[in-house]
Amino acid sequence: MAGFQELVEFLTARLHEPLPGADVHRRFAPRPHHKGWRPDDRPAGARDAAALLLLYPRANGAAFPLTVRRSDLPVHPGQVSLPGGRLNPQESAEAAALRESEEEIGVDASAVTILGALSSLWVIVSNHVVHPFVGICMTRPEFRPAPSEVAALVEMPLADLRDLRRLNWEQRTRDGVLVDVPFFDLDGYQVWGATAMILGEFGALFDPHFAPGAPNRRPEGGALPPR
pLDDT of residue 226: 35
Distance between CA atoms of residues 7 and 214, nearest Å: 30
Model confidence at 191: pLDDT above 90: yes
Model confidence at 227: pLDDT above 50: no
What the chain holds in terms of domains, given with CATH numbers, is: 2-206 (3.90.79.10)
Model confidence at 220: pLDDT above 60: no
List pLDDT tens digits, range 3-24.
999 999 999 999 999 999 999 9
pLDDT of residue 79: 86
pTM value surpassing 0.95: no
Model confidence at 134: pLDDT above 80: yes
Segment 59-81 mean pLDDT: 85
pLDDT band at 70 (very low <50, low <70, confident <90, very high): confident
Q: What average pLDDT is seen over the chain?
A: 92
pLDDT of residue 112: 98
Segment 95-116 mean pLDDT: 97
The two beta strands, 128-136 and 47-58, are parallel
pLDDT of residue 225: 34
List pLDDT tens digits, range 157-168.
999 999 999 999
pLDDT of residue 175: 87
